[in-house]
Amino acid sequence: MKTRFNFTNRDIVSIKGFTREEIDYILEIAAAFEPLAEKGSDMLKGKVLAELFFEPSTRTRLSFETAMYKLGGNVIGFAEPGVSSVKKGETLADTVRVVENYSDVIVMRHPLEGAARFAAEYAHVPVINGGSGAEEHPTQALLDLYTILKAKGRIDGLNIALMGDLRYGRTVHSLAYALSLYDVKLNMVSPELLRMRTEVLEDIKTRIDVTEHRDVEDILPELDVLYVTRIQKERFPDLGEYEKVRGTYKVDLDLLRNAKDDLVVLHPLPRVDEIAVEVDSTPFAKYFEQTRNGVIVRMALLALVLGAIKE
């Protein structure tokens, strides 16, 4: 396979580091990797992925792990800092400088914004941001785009709503930046307290039309994609504020009666109560497919940054 871009050794810290052409290319490689997700490959034989997870994770950590194994590589790391020398007071800089000697690529999740960028500056191996506080989650955005593309056959021309915790949700920050590279109409739906960050809005409004809404009912009939998020309780500085917004939005069958037949409902998961379980068995629900697509997109990313796809 040939690459038109140079991804070898590249850090994936922010989705803002990518052009639309590069993102399209990653999605193309992912599509080409679909069969490998079934039959496996030894493309990354001898390579080691280190996972440094300073925050809880199910999908991001396990799908990166699966992606590495599917391509014949190996995985080391920790799923929580309590079992590492971080517990003894080791700094992030030192942890990274040690772990880069054991691995060819690092995936890190950290509660602090900027942590992934910081690690990338220290490490000589590529660093992939698996979630940096409330800031960004670039690989999630790529798998979200891949899922939209698979479900709708295109991204351009779609009417898309991001709904829920747009303030603390890192997935919607990365996804908004990524979608702003396409010709989409973007709607932000949230309670006042959880409105999309101004810095994100200001940036994406230079490229696409964005509207803000309190209630999804106002726009639901026109939507092609509804991306729902969990309220990020753990990021609220004041739990009283969380109590004010908790349970303020919910997607259920009653709401979806007014949706287009081919509306796609997405969610990065984990869900708490934002999407009723009754929606799971409808054709709208694509959030479990999203998790499968996560493995494929992460296989493509690992192969790209490890230089397994040569020019």
Q: Are 34 and 189 in contact (CB under 8 A)?
A: no
Q: Which is nearer to ligand NCD, 60 or 293 (CB)?
A: 60
Write out the DSSP string of 195-236: PPPHHHHHHHTTTSEEEEES-GGGTGGG-SEEEE----GGG-
ω into 270 cis (within 30 of 0): yes
Q: Which residues pair with 163 in a beta bridge?
A: 189, 228
88 carries an active-site annotation: yes
Residue 230 makes contact with ligand NCD by CB under 6 A: yes
DSSP-based three-state secondary structure for 62:
helix
Q: How far is the CB of 108 from ligand NCD (least distance, A)?
A: 13
DSSP-based three-state secondary structure for 146:
helix
Q: How far is the CB of 271 from ligand NCD (least distance, A)?
A: 8
59 carries an active-site annotation: yes
The encoded tokens of residue 103 equal: 């691995």
Q: Name the segment binding ligand NCD (CB under 6 A); options: 7-15, 81-89, 187-195, 268-276.
A: 268-276
- Answer for which of 73, 77, 81, 131 binds ligand NCD (CB under 6 A) is 131
Q: Which is nearer to ligand NCD, 185 or 230 (CB)?
A: 230
- Answer for which of 16, 59, 207, 213 binds ligand NCD (CB under 6 A) is 59
Cα atoms in the 13 Å half-sphere on the side-chain side of 137: 26
Q: How far is the CB of 261 from ligand NCD (least distance, A)?
A: 27
Q: Name the segment binding ligand NCD (CB under 6 A); options: 39-47, 65-73, 189-197, 264-272.
A: 264-272
Q: Which of 15, 67, 76, 21 is nearest to 49 (CA)?
A: 76
C-alpha triplet 282, 297, 11: angle, nearest 5°: 140
292 carries an active-site annotation: no
60 carries an active-site annotation: yes
Catalytic residue, chosen from 10, 70, 137, 173, is 137
Q: Which is nearer to ligand NCD, 131 or 191 (CB)?
A: 131
Task: Give me the residues that bind ligand NCD (CB under 6 A), please.
Answer: 59-60, 131, 137, 140, 170-171, 230, 268-270
Q: Which residues are catalytic?
A: 59-60, 88, 109, 137
